[in-house]
Amino acid sequence: MATTVDQLRRNLPGTKASEWCAWPSQTFEEMDSIVVVQQYIQQLIRTETFDIDLILTPPEGQDEGVWKYEHLRQFCMELNGLAVRLQEECKPEECTQMTATEQWIFLCAAHKTPKECPAIDYTRHTLDGAACLLNSSKYFPSRNTIKDTSVQKLGSVCRRVYRIFSHAYFHHRIIFDEFENETALCRRFSTYVLKYALMANENLIVPILEDSGESDA
């Protein structure tokens, strides 16, 4: 059975949590999949969770637009895990606005006219909207090549989903810290947007990179 799982590289029904994705790693060149970039990124995250530079370093010759796109897809998928945890205490009647510190209040773009939403609704709407855009056959019909005009849309997605991190950090710090200690997701995201100039440094208000000297935010 173990050999079959390794060959299929699938988590079969009944797979124990301790054996999840427990197949041997492959080099990028060895991978044979139509979503090879996603597969490679997910492997790096599983095996080298806290080596952010390695995770963000593309294989030689990899198209940069596809690399940025696949990473953003992955961020949005992982952010759903933070969203689930926030539901425990980020109640609509308590977090009535999407805020970060006392200076930042964000309007939700999921409506015909942007308006205020409870923070947890803003989180859901933003992740739903990001998923719709990143899975759009109009803008991203291929996982192998992406037009420059479509790549340009990634920055706006980054700015919106980053607000989920900032709200969690400033208003639900225990949940944020627990999630971050397990995933390093905010640190990876912040490094990613700076590396590819998808957000301005001054907009990174969560001081997640200070310890490594990568940001003055």
CATH code, domain carrying 160: 1.20.140.30
Section 26-35 average pLDDT: 78
In a domain, 20, yes or no: no
Instruction: Give the tens place of pLDDT for each residue, 59-90.
Output: 999 999 999 999 999 999 999 999 999 999 99
Section 94-101 average pLDDT: 92
Section 27-43 average pLDDT: 85
pLDDT higher than threshold 80 for residue 199: yes
What residue numbers bound the domain in which 66 lies?
Answer: 27-212
Query: Number of folded domains in the chain?
Result: 1
Instruction: Please provide residue 87's backbone torsions phi and psi, each rounded to the nearest 5 degrees.
Output: -60, -20
Predicted pLDDT at 5: 40
Rounded to 10°, the helix 36-47/64-86 angle is 50
CA distances from 20 to 10, 76, 116 (A): 9, 21, 40
Place of tokens 């998928």: 77
In a domain, 217, yes or no: no
Residue 212, burial from CB neighbour count under 10 angstroms (0-12, 13-18, 19+): exposed
